[in-house]
A and B are shown apart, each in its own frame.
Chain A
Amino acid sequence: MKPISAPSMKQPSRNFRPSVLATLKRDRWLYLLLLPGALYFLVFKYVPMWGVLLAFKNYQPYTGFWNSEWVGLEHFKLFFANPEFFMLLRNTLLLSLYNLVFFFPAPIVIALLLNEVRLAFFKRTVQTLIYVPHFISMVIVASMTYVFLTTQGGPVNALLFKYTGTTIEFLATTEWFRPIIIIQSIWKECGWGTIIFLAALSGVDVEQYEAAKIDGANRWRQIWHITLPAIRSTIIILLILRMGNVLENGFEQIYLLLNPLNREVAEVFDTYVYFMGITQGAFSYSTAVGLFKSVIGVILVLGTNSLAKRFGQSGLY
């Protein structure tokens, strides 16, 4: 335990350890291979991490990064004092909450249903079909949403008009924005989401089902007592990942449906950063908004992860 024994323990292995130079020489090809990737992470991931310092500066394009003056927390103060802050926080959190309640369980349910299918052909066909939307771009999804829901010849409104005599401006009202986003997400990703649960389920020992059957368990009880526990840790890991992304609602999806008429419920941190930064040029201010978002995100991942560990689950790290 105490360091007294440590040197004597380390001594023998040290004699066999090749020198740093020798390892470098031995693995020179490996280090050479590592170089492009390392450069990539340095330039496109780590340099921008330094760039978050802009949040504490007053960046002007002509003075550049290094010469801009430090302004401390001014941009953060400005942001928190802005009444839009609460709108953004509310929109972001509500979308995440709805996603958690409606979208998150969907792949689990479908995986459980698929797991009960004995007909291999049927199972394969359903899987093949429900994976398709995952590969379609968000632009296509938004376009199809538009084509179906528009009041100018969209089938949904045409049917509505035929049976109720009224039409609904789905894409230009505040009430429909969130439901549309959630339905889009479910349609696009829930089939794909089943893969990971099906993988976890493929490891379940069939004898457990036999034993349960002998004990008189019906199909529901088997699902409840055997199948669900088998995917519990997968569910928890995905829940942790989702918690970390609570402030990320998927820029493309929101941006594509966002318009001045639904902005009140649609604008989220990501789109706000884009509009303030890229289209209005308020680089420092929007960097501050982005930094706020990622810091909360990291805290949430680490927090939920340690919480999961405390409750006896394996967690991510």
Chain B
Amino acid sequence: MAKTYKSVPGTLFDVTNYILLSVCALTAILPFIFVISGSFATDAELTKRTVFLIPETFSLAAYKFIFSTDTIIKAIGVSMFVTVFGTIVNLFFTVTMAYPLARRALKGRNTVLNLVIFSMLFGGGMIPTYLVIRELHLLDNYGALILPGAISAFNLIIVKNFFQEIPAEIEESAKIDGCNDMGILWKIVLPLSMPVLATFTLFYAVGHWNDFFSALLYINTPEKWPLQVLLRQIVLLSQAAAGDLSAMDATYVQPPDQSIKMAVIVVGTIPILLVYPFLQKHFAKGVMLGSVKG
């Protein structure tokens, strides 16, 4: 931290470095800004000026168009439902399993840990998993978007490592005061683990919001699609929301295809951009706590 460089080559190095990093940061963020501004532009402007940051005439036509039917609103509802319930399930399963595994004295702990690690190395693969889901009658059921990913083995191990770092003396004294293991977890371990839990809550939630794969595999009915699958349908396959958008109100002038697609992208991204500042505060710290000390 306290390093100081005052030489001329050092300054040249710094200037180059700052420029390179600024370019990296802009590259990461500019596509979003282009898409957002494009979604507010008119057809004429999009064909005239290809890339711009501020549209000349601010137009909400694309948004009016995509919200003229409830297809997207329904899909957003599905995604929100799966995100909220899925994250609760994730947290419950991860915490309840990580806590016993963090107790070194527990018999059979190493066997279970090894089995978890083995499952990270080798898996049955797409088809056997699909057949299990089918046997459980979870096809076309939102359970299929939640249960198969209830625990990420990787996250489990990080949370376990974090629990392990909590001094055993605190737990011992709680035990002497008459607390059982459930009580220790609830009253001592969980409150002490808030940063790490906040991180994983957000990771799991983002994972559910962004999940495309499970819905592609397990949800066959278009009306039950979460947002990501619908997004792909609209932007990549260009079948305007399974036919629904074509049945829109005739009073809307057909806006440009391109701006509709941009608007749809914005709708799919907004929730992440909204939670990101909150997320950002936590994750680096939380992840480091768990993994580095491992």
Chain A interface (Cβ within 8 Å of chain B)?
20, 23-24, 27, 29-31, 33-38, 40-41, 43-52, 54, 65, 110, 113-114, 116-118, 122, 125-133, 135-140, 142-144, 146-148, 150, 152-155, 158-159, 162, 187, 191, 195-196, 199, 206, 209-210, 218-220, 244, 251-252, 255-256, 270, 273-274, 277-278, 283, 286-287, 290-291, 293-295, 297-298, 301
Contacts and interface: CB of A to CB of B under 8 A. Distances in A.
B79 to A, nearest CB: 10
A153 B46 contact: yes
Nearest to B229: A139
A294 B14 CA distance: 46
B167 interface: no
A-B interface, 9 closest residue pairs, ranked by CB to CB distance from nearest: A51-B128, A48-B124, A37-B97, A290-B125, A137-B210, A29-B181, A155-B50, A48-B128, A158-B50
B253 interface: no
Contacts of A33: 96-97, 99-100, 181-182, 185
Given A33-B181, A283-B131, A153 B31 contact: no
B126 A278 contact: yes
Nearest to A317: B117
A81 B262 CA distance: 45
Interface stretch (B61-69, B243-251, B280-288): B280-288
Given A46-B119, A283-B131, A273 B125 contact: yes
A41 B288 CA distance: 26
Contact of B123 (A45, A152, A277): A45
Given A37-B96, A122-B18, A138-B212, A132 B276 contact: yes
B27 interface: yes
A242 to B, nearest CB: 14
Interface residues of B, number: 100
B27, B124, B181, B206 — which one has the most chain A CB atoms within 10 A of its CB? B124
22 contacts: A30-B99, A33-B96, A33-B181, A33-B185, A45-B119, A46-B119, A51-B129, A114-B21, A116-B14, A127-B284, A129-B29, A132-B32, A137-B268, A139-B268, A143-B268, A152-B257, A155-B51, A158-B50, A191-B28, A206-B2, A209-B3, A283-B131
